[in-house]
C-alpha cells in the first residue's frame, strides 16, 4: 500500500483526464440527440487539450512569459523556471479547431432540423424509413 | 448503441490508463517533453524574436506555419457555415412593425412597410417589450470591449493574448450588439459583404506576409527579411512580423465569429436573430 | 534548397482560395478562373517538385527559417512527391471536368464552393508534404472540415450523413491527436524524423504502442477501414457529384499514405512488425474489409453507393498490402494508392456525368445508357476493367504485386480475398454493362424513342474523362518504370531482411 | 499549484461534464457546458497555461456557448436523453 501512494499522487491527474475523455467519447457514441453528441465531442476535445496542457506542467515553474525590463538583468534564462510553452501553442490550435468544428456541426444540425423537425437520431431514421 | 459505446469506451479507457504507467510523473521538470525541444524556446525566444511571451513567439514565429493553418481552419468554418446555411432567395415572410408613438404592433403578411420610416419600427417575430437598461448598458459597453480587444491583440507580445483572443473578443462585442438590440442593427454596422471580405482579408494578410518574405529572398514566413522594408534590425523585424500576422489573425477570427453567429442565429436569413 | 517550390505548392492555392472567396462578393465571374488558376499552379509546382526529387533526391524545406525540431519542416521524398502529384493533378482535372455541374447546382455560392474546394486541396497537399506530426493534424482538420461542408451541399440525406461523418471524423482526429500526445509525452518532439530517432530505446514502453494504436485507429477512421467505414457510403453517395469525384478518390488514399508514412518513417518497420507483431492481425482485418466491402457492394441498387463499397474493399487491399511486411506487398500498396485514385476518379466522374444528364443513379435507371451516352459508358467500363484487374490496365499490375506479396508472405487468405473481390467486381461491372446495354431484363428491353436518342454529355466533361481513362492504360504500361524509379527507392531497407512467417 | 484545489476543480469539472450530457434540456445543457468550460479555464490558469486559459475563456465559454444557444434557439430544446 505504501508504494502505491506515490504512484497515485504522481498519476492521478492523468487518470482523471482519461475518465473525462471517456465521458465525452461515450456521449458521442451513445447519445441519441445530435446536439448532445456535439457537447460530448467538445468535452472529448477539451479533455485532450487538458491532457496536453498538463504535459507542459513543471512543478515550481511559472507562466511562460520571460521576466524582462530594466530590472530583470541580463542573466540567462533557466528553462526549469518556466512551464513548457510548446503544448500551450499546440492547444491554442486545437481549441480553435474544436470551435470551428462546432460551428460547422451546428450549421448541419440546423439544416437537419429544418428538414426533419427533430434532433433525435432514431426519430430521423424512423422518418427516413417511412419515406 | 449504448452497449457499443460502453465497449468502445471501456477498451479505449483501459488502453489509455494502462499506458500511463510508463509516463513520467505529473509535472516532473526532467520529463522528455520539458527537456528535449522546448528549452530552446524559453532560452532564446527573447534574444531571437524580442517577444517575452514565449507562447506568442512560438505560435507566430517558430511554429507560425501551424498558426496559419489554424486561421485557415477558422476561415473554413466561416465559409462552411455560410455555404451550408445562407439562403438568398426567400419568400416574403410575415413581418412585424411597431408604431413608435402608440406602441401598437402591426402584423404585415407578405408585404413590407418601407424600412426607413420614422413612425414605424421593424421588430422581430419573437419580440418582447425590451429592457432599456440592457440595451443602454450593452451599447455603452461595446466600445470598451472593443478597446480591450485591441489591447489584447496589440499587447500579445508582453502578456497573455494575441490575435485569437482579441479577435474573439472583437467578434463577441458585435454579437453582444446583435443580441441586445437585434441582428439588423449589428448588420447595419458591419454588412455581410464587408464581413465576408474581412474574413478573407485577414488570412490573406497572414499568408501575404509569408509570401512577401519569399519575394524578399528568404523562406516562407521567415520574418527576418522584413527588416529590408521595415528599416529595423533582424530581431525587431521578427517582432514586427509577429505583430503583423496577429493583426491578420484578429481580423479573420472577428469576422468569422460574427459570420457564424449571424448565420446560426438567423438560420441563414440574416434577418431576425436571437 | 533555395528553391521555394515546396512552399509555393501550398501557399499559392491557399492565396487563391482567399482571393476566390473575396471575389465572390465583388465580381462573380472571376471565381472559376481564379480557382482553376490556383489549382493549376498547385499541379504545376507539384510536378516540378516531383521532377526535382527524382533528379536530386529528398527535399527538405524549413518554414520560417527554423530548422526541423524547433520549426516545422517539409520533407518531400519520392513517396510524398508521388502522392502530391496524384492529389494536385486529379483535383485540377476534376475541377475542369465538373465546371458545368457546379455552375448549374450552386449558382449563388460558386465562390464559396471553389474556396472550399481549393482549401481541401491545400489540406491534402499539406498532409502529403509535411514532416511534422502536429502540423499533419491541423491540415487533416482543414481537409476534413472542408469535406464536411462540401459533402453536406448535396440534397436529401446529405446533411445527416455529413454530420455523421463529422462525428466519426472528429473521433478519428482526436484519436490521432491523443496518439501524438502520447508520443510527445514520451519523446518531447513532434518532428517525424526526430521522433523516429528518439523512439528505438523506448520500443518496450507501453505508452508507445498505445500511441501507435491510437494513431492507427484515428487514421483508420479517416480512411474508412472496414469496421470503421460506416460513415463513408452515405457521405459519398449523397454528396454532389462534383464533390464525390473530388473527395472519394483523394481523401482515403491520402490517409493510406499517412498510415504508410507513420509505419515507415515514424515508428519504423522494426517496431510495427517485430516489436508489436501486428502484421498477421492487420492482414486478417483487411481480408475482412475486402470480403465485406465486396459483399456489401453486391447488395447495392445505386451506382454511386456500389462504388462506395468498392472503395471500402480497395482500402482493404492497400492496408493489407502494406502490412504484409515484404517489399512486394508494400510496392503493391503504394502503387495501388496511385492506381486506385485514378480508377476511382474515373468511376465517380463517369457517374457524375451520367447524373448530370439523367439525374438518377439507380441501377435500374441505366437502361440503354450505352446508346445514350456511349463515350461515358465506355470510360466507366474501362475503369471497371481496371478495378477488376484486366491486364493492359493499371489495376492488374498493383493487384499482381499484392498477390505476389501475399504468396511470399504465405498469406493465402489475403490472396483468396483478392481473387474473391476481383470475381465480385466482375459480377458488379457486368451487371452494369448488362443493364446499360440490354436493358433491365426483368422489364424487358426498352424501346422508347426518348431513351434511344443519343444525349452525350458536353465535350468539356468528356475530354477530362477520356484523358483519365487513357491514363489508366498509360499507367499500366509504365508500371515498371514507376516501380523501379519511384517506389523501390523509398521502400525501407528493413522490409527486405524481414524474416516473414517462417 | 495546490493539489487540493486542483483535485477539487477536477472533480467539479467531471460533475459538470456528466451533468451536461445527462440533463434533459438542451438549453440547460448549453449553459452547463459553459460552466464546464469556465472551470476548465480555471484549471488551466492554475496550471500556468495563461494563453490557453484566456482562449478557452473567450472561445470555449464565451462564443461556443453563444453558438449553442443560437442553434438551440433555431431548433428545439427538446431532448430525450
Residue pLDDT, tens place only, C211-252 = 998 999 999 999 888 888 888 988 998 988 889 899 988 999
Whole-number Cα distances in Å, C390 to B242, C382, C393, C468: 56, 10, 6, 17
For residue B121, give the 3-state DSSP assignment: strand
- The answer to whether the CB atoms of D67 and B261 lie below 8 A apart is yes
Question: What is the distance in angstroms between the Cα of B139 and the nearest Cα belonging to chain D?
Answer: 18
Whether residue D50 lies inside any domain: the answer is yes
Q: Please give the residue that has the higher pLDDT: either A25 or C66.
A: A25
Rounded to the nearest angstrom, the minimum Cα separation between B256 and chain A is: 9
Calculate the alpha carbon distances from C361 to B142, C300, C356 in Å. 54, 11, 10
pLDDT at A70: 59
Q: Which residues of C239-250 are buried (b: 16+ CB within 10 A; e: fewer)?
A: bbbbbbbbbbbb
- pLDDT of A131 > 80? The answer is no
The stretch A5-14 carries a mean pLDDT of 75
What residues contact C285, with CB distance under 8 A and at least 6 apart?
Answer: C225, C226, C227, C319
What are the C-alpha distances in Å from D26 to residues C365, C469, D22, D81?
A: 44, 51, 10, 10
Cα-based distances in Å from C113 to B80, B200, C32, D79: 9, 14, 10, 33
Q: What angle do CA B124, B127, B128 make, to 5 degrees?
A: 165
Query: Which of B219-228, C115-124, D13-22 is predicted least confidently?
Result: B219-228
Asked if residue B254 and residue B201 are part of one domain, the reply reads yes
Q: Specify the pLDDT at position C1.
A: 46
| Residue D55 covered by a domain | yes
* pLDDT score of B145: 93
Q: Kindly tell me if the per-residue pLDDT of C281 is higher than 90.
A: no
Do B102 and B224 reside in the same domain of the chain?
A: no
Contacts (Cβ under 8 Å, ≥6 apart) of B181: B135, B138, B139
Please report, for residues A62, B273, C189, C247, C458, the alpha-carbon distance to residue C91 in angstroms, rounded to integers and kept in the order given: 48, 38, 33, 9, 20
CB contact under 8 A, D58 and B264: no
Cα of D4 to nearest chain B Cα, Å: 15
**Which of C18, C24, C145, C208 to mutate to test binding with chain B, by most B CBs within 10 Å of its CB?**
C18
Per the CB < 8 Å rule, is D74 touching A95? no
pLDDT for A79 beyond 90? no
Q: What CATH number belongs to A4-58+80-130?
A: 1.10.287.3510
How many domains are there within chain B? Answer: 2
Give a yes or no: residue D28 inside a domain: yes
What is the mean predicted confidence (pLDDT) over C391-419?
87
Q: Does C167 touch chain B (CB under 8 A)?
A: no
Which of 172-201 (B) contact D at CB < 8 A?
172, 175, 179
Tell me the whole-structure pTM to 2 decimals: 0.93
**If pLDDT is split at 50, 70 and 90, which confidence band does A69 have?**
low
Q: What is the pLDDT of residue D81?
A: 77
Cell 499533419 found at? C136
* Residue D68: inside a domain: yes
* Facing residue for A97 by CB, picked from C141, C159, C163: C141
What are B107-126's pLDDT values in tens digits? 777 666 666 667 777 777 77
- Tell whether B119 and B233 lie within a shared domain: no
Is the pLDDT at C163 greater than 80? The verdict is yes
The half-sphere exposure of C336 on its side-chain side, counting CA atoms within 13 A, is 31
State whether B165 and D54 contact (CB < 8 Å): yes
**Nearest residue to C229 via CA among C159, C169, C154:** C169
In-domain check, residue D48: yes
Task: State how far residue A82 is from chain B, nearest Cα, in angstroms.
Answer: 7
Coil, strand or helix: which one is A71? coil
- Please tell me the predicted confidence (pLDDT) of residue B45: 81
Flag if C210 and B18 touch (Cβ within 8 Å).
yes
Distances from the Cα of D54 to the Cα of A13, B214, D50, D61, angstroms: 22, 33, 6, 10
Contacts of C489 (CB under 8 A, 6+ apart): C78
Does a structural domain hold residue D45? yes
Q: Are B219 and C205 in contact (CB < 8 Å)?
A: no
Residue-level pLDDT, tens digit, chain B, 274 residues: 788 888 888 888 888 888 888 888 887 878 888 888 888 888 888 888 888 888 888 888 888 888 999 999 999 999 999 999 888 876 667 777 878 777 787 777 766 666 666 777 777 777 777 678 888 999 999 999 999 999 999 988 888 888 899 999 999 999 999 888 888 888 888 888 999 999 999 999 999 998 888 888 888 888 888 888 888 888 888 888 889 999 999 999 999 999 999 999 888 887 777 7
Say if the Cβ atoms of B76 and C198 lie within 8 Å: no
With beta carbons less than 8 A apart as the criterion, state whether C205 and C186 touch: yes
Residues of A with CB under 8 A from a CB of C: 21, 25, 28, 34, 37, 41, 44-45, 48, 51-52, 55, 86-87, 90, 93-94, 97, 100-101, 104-105, 108-109, 111-112, 115-116, 124, 128
Q: Do the Cβ atoms of B100 and B119 come closer than 8 Å?
A: yes
Quick one: pLDDT at residue C452? 58
Task: Give the pLDDT band of residue C134 (cuts 50, 70, 90).
Answer: very high
B270 belongs to a structural domain: no
Q: Is the dihedral of CA C276, C280, C284, C286 positive or negative?
A: positive
What single-letter DSSP state applies at residue B101? Answer: T
C-alpha cell at B72: 485557415
B122 and B252 in a single domain? The answer is no
Q: CB neighbours (10 Å) of residue D2?
A: 8
pLDDT at residue number B111: 64
C149/B83 CB distance under 8 A: yes
With beta carbons less than 8 A apart as the criterion, state whether C333 and C270 touch: no
Domain membership flag for residue B16: no
Is D79's CB within 8 Å of A13's CB?
Answer: no
Question: How does pLDDT run across C420-466, given as a tens digit for each residue?
Answer: 999 999 998 888 888 887 765 555 445 544 555 677 778 888 888 88
Question: Which one is predicted more confidently, A6 or C140?
Answer: C140
Output phi, psi for B115, to 5 deg: -60, -45
C375-390 confidence digits (pLDDT tens): 888 888 888 888 888 8
Nearest to B55 among A64, A99, A103 (CB): A64
Q: Are A127 and A116 in contact (CB under 8 A)?
A: yes
Chain A environment of B28 (Cβ under 8 Å): 58-59
Which residue, C125, C490, C428, is CA-closest to C301?
C428
The answer to whether A and C touch (≥3 CB pairs < 8 Å) is yes
Mean pLDDT of C264-276: 79
| Confidence (pLDDT) at C256 | 92
Range of the domain at D47: 3-74
Query: Which chains contact D through at least 3 pairs of Cβ atoms less than 8 Å apart?
Result: A, B
pLDDT at residue C374, rounded to an integer: 83
Judged by CB atoms closer than 8 Å, whether chains meet at B42 and A64 is answered as yes
B near A: at least 3 beta-carbon pairs less than 8 Å apart: yes
Instruction: Please state, in angstroms and as integers, the Cα–Cα distance from residue A111 to each residue in B258, B261, C263, following that order.
Output: 19, 15, 40
- Partner-chain contact A111 C178, CB within 8 Å: no
| Residue C417 near residue C287, CB atoms below 8 Å | yes
C499 contact partners, CB below 8 Å, separation of at least 6 = none
pLDDT at C289 over 80: yes
Determine, for residues B38 and A79 on separate chains, whether the beta-carbon distance falls below 8 Å. Answer: yes
pLDDT band at C502 (very low <50, low <70, confident <90, very high): very low
- Residue D18's DSSP bridge partners are none
- H helical segments located in C24-77: 31-56
Helix ranges (DSSP H) in C359-458: 369-372, 374-388, 394-409, 412-438, 449-452
The CA distance from A113 to A107, in Å, is 10
Q: Tally Cβ neighbours within 10 Å of residue A56.
A: 29
**B145 and B120 in a common domain:** no
- Are the Cβ atoms of A101 and C170 closer than 8 angstroms? yes
**Cα four-point dihedral sign B259, B255, D66, C151:** positive
Q: How many Cβ contacts (< 8 angstroms) between chains A and D? A: 128
Contact by Cβ (8 Å): C470, C393: no
Q: Which chains border C (3 or more CB–CB pairs < 8 Å)?
A: A, B
Contacting B residues, span 77-106, partner chain D, CB-CB under 8 Å: none
What percentage of chain C has pLDDT greater than the value 90?
Answer: 25
Cβ-proximal residues to B144 (8 Å cutoff; 6+ apart), any chain? none
* Alpha carbon distances (Å) from C474 to C88, C245, C339, C471: 19, 21, 11, 5
> For residue B106, what is the enclosing H or E element?
strand B104-108
Does B62 map to a domain? yes
Q: Do C141 and B73 touch (CB under 8 A)?
A: yes
Whole-number pLDDT of residue C500: 37
What percent of the residues of chain D are helix, what percent strand, and what percent coil, each to the nearest 5?
80, 0, 20
> Mean pLDDT throughout C66-88?
87
Residue B52 inside a domain? The answer is yes
CA distances from B100 to B118, B119, B123, C220, C316 (A): 8, 6, 11, 62, 69
Minimal CA separation from A3 to chain D, in Å: 20
Neighbours of chain B (3+ CB pairs under 8 A): A, C, D
* B266, B183 contact by CB (below 8 A): yes
For residue B116, give its domain range.
93-129
B48 and B183 assigned to the same domain:
yes
Is residue D57 in some structural domain? yes
Amino acid at each position: 500500500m505504501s508504494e502505491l501512494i506515490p504512484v497515485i499522487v504522481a498519476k492521478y491527474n492523468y487518470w482523471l483526464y482519461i475518465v473525462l475523455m471517456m465521458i465525452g467519447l461515450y456521449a458521442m457514441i451513445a447519445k441519441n440527440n445530435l446536439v448532445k453528441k456535439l457537447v460530448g465531442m467538445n468535452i472529448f476535445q477539451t479533455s485532450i487539450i487538458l491532457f496536453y496542457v498538463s504535459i507542459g506542467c513543471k512543478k515550481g515553474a511559472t507562466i511562460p512569459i520571460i521576466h524582462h525590463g530594466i530590472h530583470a538583468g541580463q542573466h540567462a534564462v533557466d528553462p526549469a523556471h518556466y512551464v513548457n510553452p510548446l503544448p500551450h501553442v499546440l492547444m491554442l490550435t486545437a481549441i480553435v479547431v474544436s470551435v470551428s468544428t462546432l460551428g460547422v456541426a451546428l450549421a448541419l444540425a440546423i439544416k437537419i432540423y429544418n428538414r426533419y423537425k427533430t434532433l433525435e437520431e432514431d426519430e430521423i431514421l424512423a422518418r427516413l424509413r417511412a419515406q | 448503441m449504448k452497449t457499443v459505446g460502453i465497449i468502445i469506451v471501456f477498451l479505449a479507457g483501459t488502453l489509455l490508463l494502462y499506458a500511463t504507467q510508463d509516463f513520467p510523473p505529473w509535472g516532473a521538470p526532467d520529463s522528455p517533453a520539458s527537456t528535449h525541444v522546448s528549452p530552446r524556446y524559453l532560452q532564446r525566444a527573447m534574444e531571437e524574436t524580442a517577444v517575452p511571451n514565449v507562447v506568442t513567439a512560438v505560435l507566430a514565429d517558430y511554429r507560425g506555419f501551424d498558426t496559419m493553418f489554424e486561421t485557415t481552419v477558422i476561415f473554413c468554418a466561416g465559409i462552411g457555415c455560410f455555404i451550408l446555411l445562407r439562403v438568398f432567395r426567400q419568400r416574403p415572410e410575415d413581418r412585424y412593425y411597431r408604431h413608435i408613438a402608440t406602441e401598437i404592433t402591426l402584423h404585415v403578411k407578405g408585404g413590407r412597410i418601407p424600412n426607413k420610416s420614422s413612425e414605424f419600427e421593424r421588430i422581430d417575430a419573437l419580440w418582447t417589450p425590451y429592457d432599456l437598461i440592457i440595451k443602454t448598458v450593452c451599447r455603452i459597453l461595446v466600445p470598451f470591449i472593443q478597446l480591450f480587444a485591441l489591447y489584447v491583440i496589440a499587447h500579445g507580445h508582453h502578456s497573455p493574448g494575441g490575435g485569437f483572443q482579441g479577435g474573439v473578443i472583437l467578434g463577441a462585442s458585435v454579437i453582444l450588439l446583435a443580441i441586445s438590440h437585434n441582428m439588423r442593427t449589428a448588420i447595419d454596422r458591419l454588412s455581410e459583404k464587408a464581413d465576408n471580405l474581412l474574413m478573407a482579408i485577414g488570412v490573406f494578410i497572414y499568408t501575404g506576409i509569408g509570401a512577401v518574405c519569399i519575394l524578399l529572398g528568404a523562406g516562407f514566413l521567415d520574418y527576418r527579411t522584413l527588416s529590408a522594408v521595415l528599416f529595423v534590425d533582424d530581431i525587431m523585424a521578427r517582432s514586427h512580423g509577429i505583430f503583423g500576422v496577429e493583426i491578420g489573425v484578429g481580423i479573420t477570427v472577428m469576422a468569422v465569429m460574427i459570420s457564424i453567429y449571424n448565420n446560426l442565429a438567423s438560420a441563414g436569413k440574416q434577418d431576425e436573430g436571437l | 534548397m533555395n528553391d521555394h517550390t515546396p512552399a509555393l505548392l501550398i501557399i499559392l492555392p491557399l492565396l487563391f482560395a482567399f482571393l476566390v472567396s473575396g471575389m465572390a462578393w465583388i465580381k462573380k465571374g472571376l471565381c472559376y478562373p481564379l480557382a482553376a488558376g490556383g489549382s493549376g499552379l498547385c499541379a504545376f509546382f507539384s510536378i516540378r517538385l516531383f521532377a526535382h526529387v527524382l533528379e536530386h533526391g529528398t527535399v527538405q524545406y524549413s518554414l520560417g527559417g527554423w530548422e526541423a525540431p524547433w520549426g516545422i519542416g517539409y520533407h518531400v521524398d519520392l513517396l510524398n512527391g508521388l502522392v502530391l502529384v496524384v492529389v494536385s493533378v486529379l483535383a485540377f482535372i476534376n475541377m475542369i471536368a465538373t465546371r458545368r455541374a457546379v455552375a448549374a447546382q450552386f449558382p449563388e455560392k460558386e465562390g464559396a464552393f471553389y474556396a472550399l474546394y481549393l482549401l481541401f486541396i491545400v489540406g491534402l497537399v499539406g498532409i502529403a508534404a509535411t514532416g511534422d506530426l502536429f502540423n499533419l493534424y491541423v491540415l487533416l482538420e482543414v481537409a476534413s472540415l472542408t469535406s464536411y461542408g462540401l459533402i453536406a451541399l448535396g440534397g436529401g440525406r446529405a446533411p445527416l450523413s455529413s454530420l455523421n461523418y463529422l462525428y466519426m471524423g472528429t473521433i478519428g482526429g482526436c484519436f490521432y491527436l491523443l496518439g501524438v500526445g502520447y508520443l510527445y509525452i514520451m519523446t518531447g518532439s513532434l518532428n517525424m524524423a526526430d521522433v523516429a530517432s528518439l523512439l528505438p530505446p523506448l520500443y518496450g514502453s507501453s505508452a508507445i504502442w498505445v500511441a501507435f494504436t491510437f494513431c492507427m485507429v484515428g487514421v483508420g477512421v479517416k480512411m474508412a477501414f472496414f469496421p470503421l467505414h460506416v460513415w463513408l457510403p452515405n457521405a459519398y453517395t449523397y454528396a454532389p457529384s462534383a464533390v464525390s469525384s473530388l473527395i472519394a478518390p483523394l481523401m482515403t488514399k491520402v490517409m493510406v499514405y499517412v498510415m504508410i508514412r507513420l509505419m515507415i518513417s515514424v515508428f519504423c518497420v522494426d517496431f510495427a512488425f517485430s516489436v508489436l507483431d501486428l502484421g498477421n492481425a492487420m492482414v486478417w482485418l483487411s481480408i475482412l474489409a475486402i470480403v465485406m466491402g465486396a459483399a456489401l457492394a453486391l447488395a447495392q441498387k445505386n451506382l454511386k453507393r456500389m462504388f462506395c463499397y468498392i472503395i471500402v474493399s480497395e482500402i482493404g487491399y492497400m492496408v493489407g498490402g502494406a502490412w504484409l511486411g515484404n517489399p512486394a506487398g508494400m510496392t503493391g500498396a503504394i502503387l495501388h494508392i496511385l492506381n486506385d485514385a485514378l480508377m476511382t476518379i474515373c468511376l465517380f466522374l463517369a457517374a457524375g456525368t451520367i447524373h448530370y444528364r439523367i439525374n438518377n443513379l439507380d441501377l435500374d435507371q441505366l437502361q440503354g445508357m450505352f446508346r445514350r451516352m456511349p463515350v461515358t459508358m465506355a470510360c466507366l467500363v474501362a475503369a471497371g476493367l481496371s478495378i477488376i484487374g484486366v491486364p493492359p490496365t493499371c489495376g492488374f499490375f498493383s493487384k499482381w504485386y499484392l498477390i505476389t506479396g501475399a504468396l511470399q508472405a504465405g498469406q493465402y487468405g489475403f490472396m483468396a480475398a483478392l481473387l474473391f473481390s476481383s470475381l465480385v467486381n466482375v459480377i458488379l461491372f457486368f451487371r452494369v454493362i448488362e443493364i446499360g446495354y440490354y436493358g433491365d431484363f426483368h422489364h424487358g428491353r426498352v424501346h422508347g424513342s426518348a431513351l434511344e436518342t443519343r444525349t452525350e454529355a458536353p465535350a468539356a466533361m468528356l475530354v477530362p474523362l477520356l484523358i483519365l481513362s487513357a491514363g489508366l492504360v498509360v499507367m499500366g504500361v509504365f508500371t515498371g518504370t514507376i516501380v523501379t524509379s519511384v517506389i523501390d527507392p523509398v521502400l525501407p531497407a528493413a522490409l527486405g531482411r524481414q524474416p516473414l512467417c517462417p | 499549484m495546490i493539489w487540493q484545489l486542483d483535485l477539487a476543480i477536477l472533480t467539479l469539472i467531471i460533475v459538470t461534464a456528466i451533468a451536461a450530457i445527462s440533463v434533459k434540456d438542451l438549453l440547460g445543457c448549453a449553459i452547463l457546458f459553459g460552466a464546464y468550460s469556465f472551470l476548465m479555464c480555471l484549471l488551466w490558469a492554475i496550471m500556468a497555461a495563461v494563453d490557453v486559459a484566456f482562449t478557452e475563456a473567450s472561445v470555449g465559454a464565451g462564443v461556443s456557448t453563444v453558438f449553442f444557444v443560437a442553434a438551440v434557439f433555431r431548433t428545439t430544446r427538446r431532448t430525450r436523453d
